[in-house]
Amino acid sequence: MMQVIHHPQEMQAWSRAQTRSGATVGLVPTMGFFHEGHLSLMRTAASLCDFLVVSLFVNPTQFGPNEDLDRYPRDFERDIQLAEKEQVAVVFAPTPELMYPKGFQTEVQVRQLAAHLCGKSRPVHFAGVATVVSKLLNIVQPDVAVFGEKDFQQLAIVRRLVADLNLPVRIVGHPTVREKDGLAMSSRNANLDPANRAAALSLFTALQLAQAQAGQGQLSTAALTVLLEKHIHSFAGTTVDYVSFVNSETLEPIEVVDEWTVLALAVFVEGKAGKVRLIDNGFVLPRQRG
């Protein structure tokens, strides 16, 4: 029977009990409003451990002023029903007051990796991510944690955080899960206007366009950026946040595409109640994934 635990101390005690018994614990951190992407992360994590914990927490510290914290989709009861159908032992669902009690003042930063891509337009975001992930790893104390590659920069930051702080957990990246038409699955997709679905697909089609152009020998990132921005803006209701070609390890921008190059995109699309910020990414050239 799946448990729902709200208090961090109770969650930590549960995990310690499993470890003492010789069992392994896995973690999938989420902000809820589950879709097939989340469920796929859960299935992968469940295959890597004895007991799976899924955290369900919309973390306020990773949202800046005028971002979509209040509009972020939520449906706790639905999430619990979906988790019960997977091999989830515990849903850890703390409140903001439990995660950030009165007097809380600590912040974790991964400075260089957070300075690129989303960090430029969302300056407080990754400090919030790094802090809450640090807390979740300390509370749940998992042997393995699974994160989606759709949030490529977040995954890089988590891996750096774990290495730098010598945290005893294996971080596993899970490939981006997409809709049948190629749209990367995201909880924010619920805020899209169905009439403007084609605009949301501009990220995926831009990624395909870049891969096709590079395959034909166009490796200049400056030329590709101009082409992709023009492509995205050809869809009504789109505003480019960034189109960036970066090294997959350092996230530093590069001038010429090579096998380590990732194209990262962030685009605002007109939604049901304002602009919805979508992200996507992918390697530009075929390579062996390891």
CB 193, CB 36: distance < 8 Å: no
Provide the Cα torsion 90, 44, 200, 117; round to 10°: 90
CB 174, CB 40: distance < 8 Å: yes
Three-state DSSP class for 279? strand
Handedness of CA 151, 152, 153, 158 (dihedral sign): positive
Q: How many helices (H) and strands (E) does the chain have?
A: 11, 9
Half-sphere exposure for 136 (CA within 13 Å, toward CB): 33
What would the two tokens of residue 63 be? 């949202």
Active site residues: 38
What would the two tokens of residue 241 be? 């946040």
What would the two tokens of residue 251 be? 């996230």
CB 153, CB 4: distance < 8 Å: no
Q: Are strands 261-271 and 274-283 parallel, antiparallel or unpaired?
A: antiparallel
The radius of gyration of the chain's CA atoms, rounded to the nearest angstrom, is: 19
